[in-house]
C-alpha cells in the first residue's frame, strides 16, 4: 500500500474525533483573520461547532458567489488570512476571473498524498504538463512533487514536439497533467517511432474513464486520478483499489442538497462542500459547485476515510424561464414547505416554443389533488412563475443530484 502517512488507516471514529476537535479553532481563526468570515460567522460560538450537525448550521459560501464578492473586496473577497508579502508566495487566477493565494508552506495544496498513492517516490523525474501561467495547476503538482523529493521538468501545456524531444533526452519516468494530453504525447511518440519513458502518472482536470486507464496500462503506465480545486487543494484521490476516490485527511467533506446547506442521506448525490484547515485561506463550508456522492464502506486498499464517487457534474443548475432566474434553492424551499415530497426535480421544457415548468415529485402515498394544488401555489410564490405538478412513484427519479433539468429544444 502506497501510504503517505499512518493517518490514512486509522480508526474512522478516531479520525472523526480529531477533525471535529480541530474545527472550533479553525472557525475562530477564520473569523479573526478573514474579514468575510468575521461577518458571516459573527454570531457563531466557535467552541460549539464540534459536530457535523453543528457545522451544518453554518452558511455555505459557494464558488459561484466568489466572483462578485471578490469584486467588492479585492483581491480575495475578504476570505484570505494573508496578503501580499512573504506569507503569500504566489497569486493565481482561475476562469471568472477568481483569484487564489498560494501560501509559503511546503506542499501547500496537500497533493503529495495523491502522488504517493499513485506510486511517486523521491528520485522520480516528473514531467509536469499542467499550466504554470496564470492558473495554479502547475504549481499545485510541482510543490507536491518537491515535498516527496521528486525532480520536476516544468513542461507546461502545448508544444508537443518540444515536449517529446525533452522526454527523449531526459527520460522522465512520471507524468502529471490531463489524461487527454498524455494520450496526445503517446500518440506523437508512436508517430516518431520512439517509446515514451513514463511508468506512472497522476491525472486530473478531466474525466478519466476506465477504458483510457486500461489503454495507458497496456502501454506500461499505471495512471491514477486526483480531484482537487485551486481554492481547497486536494479533496480526494484514487488508490490501488480503483473503487472511488478516498477523501484527504485534512478536510471535512459534506455532500449537501444542491442550492442549500442541508446534508443529504448517505449515497445520495449532492454538492461537494468542504471545510479546510488551511490557516492562510481558511474556507469554511465552501461549496465547490461539483456533484458527487459518498460510497458505502471502506476501501479495499485498507484506507479508512470516506470515499466519494468522483466528479459527477455541476450543482449550479440555475436556469432562466420566461425572463426569470430559477434556482435549485427554490426547489429545495418547496420541498421544505411540503414534507410529503421525498425527492423532486423541476423539469423545464418548451412545447411549441413556450416555456413550461413541471415539478416531478416522489411523495409518500401517491399524492392528491389538494397536495398538487398546494405545491403549485408554492411554486408560483417562490419562483413568480406558474408550474405544473406531477407525482411519481418512489425511486422513479434518478439519483444524480439534479434539482433542475432544462430539456428545452429550439430546433
Over residues 68-86, the mean pLDDT reads 93
State residue 381's pLDDT score. Answer: 92
Cβ proximity of 328 and 258 under 8 Å? yes
Residues 282 and 148 in one domain: yes
Residues 272 and 392 in one domain: no
Residues 301 and 340 in one domain: no
Instruction: Quote the percentage of the chain above a pLDDT of 70.
Output: 99
Grid cell digits, residue 6: 499512518
Look at residue 316 and tell me whether its pLDDT is greater than 80: no
Look at residue 411 and tell me whether its pLDDT is greater than 60: no
Task: Give strand pairing partners of 387.
Answer: none
Give residues with Cβ within 8 angstroms of 209, minimum separation 6. Answer: none
Give the 3-state secondary structure of residue 401.
coil
CATH of the domain at 374: 3.30.300.30
* Total domain count, the chain: 2
Residues 300 and 202 in one domain: yes
Residues 267 and 391 in one domain: no
CATH of the domain at 280: 3.40.50.12780
State residue 125's pLDDT score. Answer: 98
pTM for this structure? Answer: 0.86
Write phi, then psi, for 312 (nearest 5 degrees): -125, 20
State residue 350's pLDDT score. Answer: 87
**What domain range is 382 assigned to?**
319-406
Query: If you write DSSP's letter for every residue of 227-266 in order, what string do you get?
Result: EEETTTEEEEE--TT-SSEEEPTTEEEEEE-TTS-PBPPT
CA distance 295 to 304: 12
pLDDT, one tens digit per residue, over 123-164 is 999 999 999 999 999 999 999 999 999 999 999 988 899 999
Cβ proximity of 23 and 29 under 8 Å? no
247 part of a folded domain: yes
Residues 384 and 247 in one domain: no
CA distance 232 to 213: 26
CA distance 320 to 302: 46
Residues 195 and 257 in one domain: yes
Residues 41 and 109 in one domain: yes
Residues 161 and 310 in one domain: yes
Give residues with Cβ within 8 angstroms of 356, minimum separation 6. Answer: 348, 349, 350, 388
* Averaged confidence pLDDT in the chain: 93
Amino acid at each position: 500500500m502506497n501510504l503517505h502517512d499512518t493517518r490514512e488507516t486509522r480508526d474512522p471514529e478516531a479520525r472523526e474525533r480529531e477533525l471535529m476537535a480541530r474545527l472550533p479553532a479553525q472557525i475562530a481563526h477564520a473569523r479573526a483573520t478573514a474579514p468575510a468570515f468575521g461577518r458571516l460567522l459573527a454570531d457563531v460560538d466557535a467552541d460549539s461547532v464540534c459536530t457535523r450537525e453543528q457545522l451544518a448550521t453554518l452558511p455555505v459560501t459557494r464558488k459561484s458567489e466568489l466572483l462578485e464578492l471578490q469584486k467588492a473586496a479585492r483581491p480575495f473577497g475578504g476570505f484570505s488570512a494573508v496578503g501580499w508579502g512573504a506569507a503569500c508566495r504566489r497569486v493565481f487566477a482561475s476562469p471568472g476571473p477568481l483569484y487564489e493565494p498560494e501560501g509559503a508552506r511546503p506542499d501547500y495544496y496537500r497533493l503529495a498524498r495523491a502522488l504517493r498513492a499513485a506510486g511517486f517516490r523521491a528520485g522520480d523525474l516528473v514531467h509536469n504538463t499542467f499550466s504554470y501561467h496564470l492558473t495554479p495547476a502547475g504549481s499545485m503538482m510541482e510543490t507536491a512533487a518537491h515535498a516527496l523529493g521528486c525532480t520536476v521538468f516544468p513542461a507546461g501545456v502545448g508544444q508537443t514536439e518540444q515536449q517529446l524531444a525533452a522526454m527523449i533526452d531526459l527520460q522522465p519516468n512520471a507524468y502529471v497533467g490531463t489524461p487527454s494530453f498524455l494520450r496526445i504525447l503517446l500518440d506523437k511518440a508512436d508517430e516518431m517511432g520512439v517509446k515514451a519513458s513514463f511508468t506512472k502518472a497522476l491525472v486530473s482536470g478531466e474525466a478519466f474513464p476506465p477504458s483510457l486507464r486500461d489503454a495507458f496500462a497496456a502501454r506500461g503506465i499505471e495512471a491514477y486520478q486526483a480531484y482537487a480545486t485551486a481554492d481547497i487543494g486536494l479533496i480526494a484521490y484514487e488508490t490501488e483499489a480503483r473503487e472511488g476516490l478516498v477523501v484527504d485527511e485534512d478536510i471535512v467533506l459534506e455532500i449537501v442538497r444542491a442550492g442549500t446547506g442541508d446534508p443529504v442521506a448517505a449515497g445520495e448525490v449532492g454538492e461537494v462542500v468542504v471545510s479546510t484547515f488551511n490557516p492562510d485561506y481558511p474556507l469554511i463550508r465552501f461549496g465547490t459547485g461539483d456533484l458527487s456522492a459518498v460510497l458505502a464502506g471502506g476501501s479495499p486498499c485498507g484506507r479508512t476515510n470516506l470515499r466519494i464517487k468522483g466528479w459527477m457534474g455541476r450543482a449550479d443548475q440555475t436556469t432562466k424561464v420566461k425572463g426569470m432566474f430559477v434556482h435549485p434553492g427554490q426547489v429545495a424551499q418547496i420541498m421544505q414547505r411540503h414534507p410529503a415530497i421525498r425527492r423532486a426535480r423541476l423539469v423545464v421544457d418548451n412545447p411549441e416554443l413556450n416555456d413550461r415548468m413541471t415539478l416531478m415529485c416522489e411523495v409518500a402515498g401517491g399524492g392528491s389533488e389538494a397536495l398538487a394544488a398546494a405545491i403549485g401555489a408554492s411554486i408560483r410564490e417562490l419562483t413568480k412563475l406558474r408550474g405544473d405538478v406531477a407525482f411519481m412513484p418512489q425511486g422513479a427519479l434518478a439519483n444524480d443530484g439534479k434539482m433542475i433539468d432544462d430539456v428545452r429544444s429550439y430546433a
